[in-house]
């Protein structure tokens, strides 16, 4: 276990250094947003490959969670690349540069790249846990893994569809110049203010459900809890609310729309 965790962390570090070099050359720390998703694939692939090297075999749940992570990471990276192509550095990273003033390169390495590396490793721990484990747990003679596998895949798929279609609807909305100054309140955005964030969190809970099948897999719950907390309270919803503070149109949208979990909009008199 320690070897697999160690090698996964080491390869992730190499990957983050590459991201840091590219971002420094381009003077754009927003590059990390593109590298972020595939960072999870680095952890998943390293752990499953090293498991195979040690045991000369892999099991179905290891293949499934690794494929799910790769699909998610490729989709996210592709979307962010298309969305940010030709645009200046994201306002969040620009604000960091202005706030730091000195030692920007070193602070970028620590607070942007390595910090997000820590996030990746914590959130991906259920994947590592699955990829380090030999056999599923048997409960009352039944294959508990078979149940959690399919439930986990279904939950993951729901999240994947929410994030994918939420991102696509937002992208199309912003591509139309007539929507400048407006707020997207149609499609999935009619039922939750953040369908993309809800989708991302749901996918990690789906992977955690799959991890419940392996011995002591339940302890990896801190992974989905951490990403849920980060998105709602730290880096996702909180930053967007701060960005749109004082916007009356957005405030009206927030009053009638569920914050996170999809639900029917409120009727405002």
Q: What is the DSSP string of the chain?
A: -HHHHHHHHHHHHHHHHHHHHHHHHHT-TTHHHHHHHHHHHHHHHHHHHHHHHHHS---HHHHHHHHHHHHHHHHHHHHHHHHHTT----HHHHHHHHHH-SSHHHHHIIIIIIHHHHHHHHHTHHHHHHHH--S--EETTEEHHHHHHHHHHHHHHHHHHHHHHHHHHHHHHHHSGGGTT----SGGGGT-S-HHHHHHHHHHHHHHHHHTTSTTGGGGGHHHHHHHHIIIIISSHHHHHHHTTT-HHHHHHHHHS-SSS--PPP---
Lowest mean pLDDT among 64-68, 85-89, 116-120: 85-89
Q: How far apart are CA 189 and CA 171, in angstroms?
A: 12
pLDDT score for 236: 83
Rounded to the nearest integer, the mean pLDDT of the chain is 91
Q: Which residue has the higher pLDDT, 58 or 123?
A: 123
For residues 205-213, average pLDDT: 94
Q: How far apart are CA 76 and CA 166, in angstroms?
A: 12
| Closest among 227, 240, 135, 139 to 194, alpha carbons compared | 240
Residue 140 clears pLDDT 80, i.e. is over it? no
- Other CB atoms within 10 A of residue 266 CB: 10
- Other CB atoms within 10 A of residue 62 CB: 22
pLDDT score for 137: 56
pLDDT score for 145: 54
Residue 142 clears pLDDT 50, i.e. is over it? no
pLDDT score for 104: 92
Banded pLDDT at 143 (limits 50, 70, 90): low
Contacts of 159 (CB under 8 A, 6+ apart): 198, 199, 200, 201, 202, 203, 204, 205, 206
Cα 241–117–200 angle (5° rounding)? 50
pLDDT score for 135: 62
Banded pLDDT at 141 (limits 50, 70, 90): very low
Lowest mean pLDDT among 86-95, 171-180, 190-199: 86-95
For residues 69-74, average pLDDT: 98
Residue 136 clears pLDDT 60, i.e. is over it? no
Q: How far apart are CA 122 and CA 5, in angstroms?
A: 11
Cα 246–251–256 angle (5° rounding)? 175
- 217-265 confidence digits (pLDDT tens): 899 999 999 999 999 998 888 888 888 888 888 999 999 999 999 999 9
Banded pLDDT at 144 (limits 50, 70, 90): low
Residue 208 clears pLDDT 80, i.e. is over it? yes
Q: Is the dihedral of CA 55, 57, 62, 68 positive or negative?
A: positive
Contacts of 240 (CB under 8 A, 6+ apart): 194
Q: How far apart are CA 243 and CA 125, in angstroms?
A: 31
- Tokens coding 221: 């719950």
- 74-86 confidence digits (pLDDT tens): 999 999 999 999 8
Residue 139 clears pLDDT 90, i.e. is over it? no
For residues 193-207, average pLDDT: 97
């Amino acid at each position: 276990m320690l070897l697999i965790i160690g090698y996964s962390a080491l390869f992730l570090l190499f990957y983050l250094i590459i991201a840091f070099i590219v971002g420094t050359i381009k003077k754009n720390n927003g590059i990390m947003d593109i590298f972020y998703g595939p960072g999870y694939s680095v952890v998943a692939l390293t752990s499953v490959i090293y498991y195979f090297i040690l045991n000369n075999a892999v099991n179905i749940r290891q293949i499934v969670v690794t494929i799910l992570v790769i699909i998610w990471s490729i989709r996210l990276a592709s979307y962010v690349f298309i969305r940010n192509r030709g645009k200046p550095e994201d306002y969040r990273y620009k604000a960091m540069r202005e706030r730091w003033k000195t030692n920007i390169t070193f602070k970028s390495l620590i607070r942007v790249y390595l910090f997000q590396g820590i996030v990746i490793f914590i959130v991906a721990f259920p994947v590592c846990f699955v990829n380090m484990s030999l056999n599923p747990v048997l409960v009352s003679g039944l294959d508990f893994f078979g149940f959690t596998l399919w439930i986990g895949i279904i939950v993951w798929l729901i999240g994947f569809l929410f994030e994918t279609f939420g991102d696509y609807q937002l992208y199309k909305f912003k591509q139309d110049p007539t929507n400048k100054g407006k707020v997207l309140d149609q499609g999935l955005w009619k039922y939750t203010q953040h369908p993309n964030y809800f989708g991302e969190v749901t996918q990690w809970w789906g992977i955690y459900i799959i991890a419940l099948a392996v011995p002591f897999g339940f302890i990896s719950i801190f992974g989905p809890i951490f990403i849920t907390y980060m998105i709602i309270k730290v880096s996702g919803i909180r930053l967007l609310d701060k960005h749109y503070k004082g916007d009356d149109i957005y405030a009206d949208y927030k009053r009638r729309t569920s914050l996170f979990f999809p639900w029917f909009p409120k009727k405002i008199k």
